[in-house]
Amino acid sequence: MAFKAFLIAIITAAAVASAVATDYMVGDNAGWKLEVNYTEWAKGKDFRVGDTLMFMYNKDYHNVAKVNGTDFQQCTASNASNLLRTGSDTITLATPGKKWYICGLSDHCSKGMKLVINVAAAPEAPAPSPTSAATNFSPLKSYAWILAAVLLTIMP
């Protein structure tokens, strides 16, 4: 039974994946640590309002400070209320504009443990066309539901 629920969840997620925000793990598999080029990591990524940044790190050696442009340039975390320390921090990008993050411990920021990104506004959804329910057809959703029904009938 749990397997059927898992399959339905996967199929549903695939059907609506294009409408979901993107989750970015900062540094990819390396995570948030020294000796990672975060400028290169961010290059080519299209950060949007609603996306999330996931900072994964050893909390005994690092932290994440949300800072302003001046603090970023000076590698200082002047506002302790913007300091994250769990080792697994998720930040939802809520507004467009530049966002700056540094490690506030020791000299980590000056050694390159810092990230600046530009967040664009979320894309606007196109206005629905005036169609009847009979012509409002999504092949992807239909195939997903058909596949789910077939799997549910053939699985014990």
pLDDT in tens, 72-111: 999 999 987 889 999 999 999 999 999 999 999 999 999 9
Per-residue confidence (pLDDT) for residue 14, from 0 to 100: 42
Per-residue confidence (pLDDT) for residue 49, from 0 to 100: 97
Is the per-residue pLDDT at 8 higher than 70?
no
Proportion of the chain above pLDDT 90, given as a percent: 62
- 30: its two tokens: 């390396």
Average pLDDT of every residue of the chain: 81
How far apart are the C-alpha atoms of 26 and 55, rounded to whole Å? Answer: 6
Grouping H, G, I as helix, E, B as strand and the rest as coil, residue 43 is coil
How far apart are the C-alpha atoms of 50 and 20, rounded to whole Å? Answer: 9
